[in-house]
Structure 1
Amino acid sequence: MPKLGSDGKIHISIVKRKRPDGSRYVQEVRSIYDPKTKNSKVISSTTKGILPPGETDLSKLIPSDGKRGPKKKAALAREKPVITDSRQGSLVQYPLDIVLLVIVLAGLGGFLSCRQ
């Protein structure tokens, strides 16, 4: 009996992965059988949505854009507006207590030169 995805065919499966809050990610996984390793290789996976906790019926799936948390945060970080300092660098004055605090903390952190 041939294995799933043998003869270069792509096998598509639906996978439910549990999240810490009890809900589940529903993902479509595409894989192909590799005869050298005698195992399947995942080609791609896309998140279709999220099932609420305790649900197993795919008709109650909450659609998702296919991206997960950290990637969204990275995209938001790129979209932040750039704030420019319009002050003249040579005329900026810093309070002495802040400067001394930074020097002491840098020394405790192992920074020994002004360039570090």
Structure 2
Amino acid sequence: MVTNTSSIPCKPLSSSFRHPRLSKRHNLRVRRLNRRRRVLKEEAKKNKRVRVVKMEMKNLKLFMVNRSIIEENEKLRQKALLLHQENQALLFQLQTKLSQQQKQQQQSLI
């Protein structure tokens, strides 16, 4: 019994280990996805930088407003101190006047 080996097509051994070639359509799809991912990452970085710059500008504006409020507060504190000193001086004058009037009334009663 002799078998006819010529009727069975024989594939080379090396071709059976090869990976099937990916289609061009698949390669194109992968490239598009990779490009889209890269573009999205770049946009995210750009948006983050924009947000950081906006936050820094907002922080600077708030710092300047805060600084002006502190300066105004210091001016008002100085005015309040002067008014308090003036009030103390007027109170002292009033007390001395009243004490003099009381002495005069006591002397006139005697």
TM value normalised by structure 2: 0.24
Higher helix share: 2
Name whichever structure is richer in strand by fraction.
1
Work out which of the two has the higher radius of gyration on C-alpha atoms and give 1 or 2: 2
Higher relative contact order (CA 8 A, sep 6+): 1
